[in-house]
Amino acid sequence: MSQASADIDTTDTKPLRRVRIRWYLVALLVIGGIVNYLDRNNLSIANTTIAKEFGLNALQMGLLLSAFSWPYAIANLPAGYLVDKYGPKRMFAWAAGLWSIISMLSALANSFGFLYAARVALGISESPFFTSGLKVADRWFNKTERALPVSIVNTGSQIANAIAPPLLTFLLLTMSWRGMFVVIGALGVIVALVWLRVYRDPTLKEQFLIKGAEFEEQSKPKEKQAGWGELLKQKNTWFMVLGAFGIFYTVWVYLTWLPSYLQTARGFSLSQSGWLAALPFLCGIIGVLTGGVISSRAIRRGIPTVTARKLPIVGGALLAAAAVLPVAYVDNSALAIVLLSVGYFAAQVPIGVLWTLAADIAEPTQVASLGAIQNFGGFLGAALAPIVTGFILTQTGGNYTLVFLIGGVLLVVGALSYGFFVKDRRATVTA
C-alpha cells in the first residue's frame, strides 16, 4: 500500500456520500456542452440567410463554416496541455466566459472578414471544453465507470444538435441571426459563473474511495514521466488522429450542411428544414449513450479495456458508412432522412468512447493531452468537411452525390484505423 493511501481513514463514510457531487458535475458539463454546441451551430442554421445578406457563394460559405474548425483543431494541442497543468476548473471557466463574449460580439459583424475572424476566435476559445470534461471524468471516476460519464458529457453536444435546428430557427425568424447570437452567448456566461461556484477536485480520501487499486497504482512514484512530446512518437497517437479525422469529417458534413441540403437538394422550406434536421441529431443523443453502455458492459464481461472501447468505435463507424453511402443514390426524401438519421446515430456511437480510450491509453498526467491530440485530428476532418463540400457543390451545381460518397469512405478509414492499429501497447511492453 502506498504512503498516500495508508494515511487515508476509510472508516469515515461521509466522503462516500460526498462523491455524489461527481454526477452533478457531469450534469453541469452536459449543460455546458449544449451551450457550447449551440454557439457552433448558429452559423449553419443561419447559413442561407447570412449567405444572402453578405452575397456569398457556396465555396465562400464553406470557408466561413470551416473558420471555427481550423483554429479549434490547432488550439486543442495547447489546450490539452493547459488543462493537464492548471486543471478543469480554471480552464473551463475561462473558456466558457470567452466563447460567450465572442459569440455576442459576432452579432456586430457587417462583413465576411469580421465574421470569419470571430469564428476563428470562437474556435480557439472553445478548445478546452472537452479536454476539461475528460479530465473531470479521469479525476472523479475509475476506469470501469469512466465510459458512461464521458459519453453522457458528449450527449450535451448531441442534445444541442437536436434542439438547434428548431430552437435557433425560431430565434432566427423572430429576432434575426444577430439576436440569435446574443441570446446563446448570454447563456454561456451563466454556465461559466455556475461552474466557478460549484466545481472542486476530489480529495485524496474521495480518490481512494472512487478508484481503489487504480488510485494505489497512480500513487506509486514513477521512474520517469514522459514529456508531452513523447505522445507524438507513439503509433497509437497517429492512428487515433487518423481514425478521428475519418469519423469527424462526416459528422461535420451533417453539422454544417444538413439544413442547407434539406432546403436546396430536398426542397424543404426554412421552417421545415429546422424540424427535419433535428431528427438525425436526436438519434445522435441515443448513439453517444449507446457507445458508452456497450463499452462499459464489455469491460464488466471481462473484455480487455482497450478492446472494449474499440468495439463501439469500429462498429459505429462501419454502420454509419453503410447508412451514409446509399444516400447518394436515394431519390425518396423520407428514405433519405431515415438513412441520414441511422448514419448520424451510428457516427455518434464512437464519440464518447474516443475520449475514454484516450484516458485508458495515456498516463494520468497526459490524459487531456492525448485526448486533445486525437481531437486535433478529428477537427482537421471537421475543418475540411465544409470546405470540400462547398467546393463540390460549386463544381457540380449543388449535387451532393460525391459529398456522401467521400463521407462514407472516410468512415471506413476511421474504423480500420482504430480497429487494426490502435492497441494496448503498454501490455506488449510488460509482456
pLDDT digits (tens, 9 = 90+) for 76-135: 788 888 888 888 999 999 999 999 999 999 999 888 899 999 999 999 999 899 889 888
Q: Which residue, chain included where needed, has cell 430552437?
A: 167
Supply the Cα-derived Rg of the chain in whole angstroms: 21
Q: For the chain, how far is it from start to end, CA to CA, in angstroms?
A: 24
Q: Are 64 and 43 in contact (CB under 8 A)?
A: yes
Residue 17 pLDDT class (50, 70, 90 cuts)? low
Q: What percent of the chain has pLDDT over 70?
A: 90
CA distance 222 to 127: 30
> Whole-angstrom Cα distance, residue 406 to residue 241?
18
User: Residue 214: which pLDDT band, with cuts at 50, 70 and 90?
Assistant: low
Per the CB < 8 A criterion, the answer to whether 296 and 148 are in contact is: yes
| 3: pLDDT strictly greater than 60 | no
- Residue 111 is placed in which grid cell? 462583413
Above 50 in pLDDT, residue 275? yes
Query: d(Cα 89, Cα 94) in Å, to the nearest integer?
Result: 9
Q: Which of 135, 150, 128 is nearest to 293 (CA)?
A: 150
Is the distance from CB of 161 to CB of 281 less than 8 angstroms?
yes
Is the CB of residue 367 less than 8 Å from the CB of residue 81?
Answer: no
Smallest CA-to-CA distance from 299 within 420, 400, 148, 152 is with 148
Q: Which amino acid is at 85?
A: K
